[in-house]
Amino acid sequence: MIEDNIGIIANVELKLYGPDGNLKDFREVHNTVTTGGKYGVAAQVLAVPVLPTPGWMEVGRGTPTSTLLADYIAGSRTALDSKTRTNAVVTMICTFPAATGTGPITEAGVFDVVTENTVNMWMSAGFLIINKGALDSLVITWTLTVA
């Protein structure tokens, strides 16, 4: 019997910068690849994928559910700065600039549609409070590894 296992591993790095450009807070969190994310990865193998690829991140003030953020911050869904692939690792980077996603943040997610509080959420993470001031910027880097 031949057996092979494929796993999808995602991790997130959060960097909060003050208005002076100095690093104020840094977190590394292992997170969840949702069922929607697993379906999305599988869909990309098709000649015509039935699900779009991730292009946005969103932040919130709750604990993520299996499909959406629990308490998203209105206006925080933001387009990715970049999305690259090296071998089996996809890296997605998003900057939440000053005045976007302001306040206490405890959750984040990666989505395949621009409309806020809408599925499909591919990955999500919950973490201890990051207090993003109105003039701060938050850079989130997500890595998705197929192993």
Give yes or no for residue 133 having a pLDDT over 90: yes
CA distances in angstroms from 28 to 10, 13, 15, 96, listed in the order given = 11, 4, 9, 17
Q: How confident is the model at residue 8 (pLDDT cuts 50, 70, 90)?
A: confident
Name the more confident of 6 and 3: 6
Q: What is the pLDDT of residue 130?
A: 98
Which residue type, as a one-letter code, is found at position 49? P
| Percentage, residues of the chain above pLDDT 70 | 98
Residue closest to 140 by CA, chosen among 72, 73, 93, 82? 93
Beta bridge partners of 27: 14
Give the model confidence (pLDDT) of 52-109 as tens digits.
999 999 999 999 999 999 999 999 999 999 999 999 999 999 999 999 999 999 999 9
Q: How confident is the model at residue 2 (pLDDT cuts 50, 70, 90)?
A: low
Question: What are the structure tokens assigned to 122, written together?
Answer: 């591919």
Do 31 and 124 form a contact (C-beta atoms < 8 A)?
Answer: yes
Domain edges within the chain: 8-146
Q: What is the pLDDT of residue 1?
A: 65
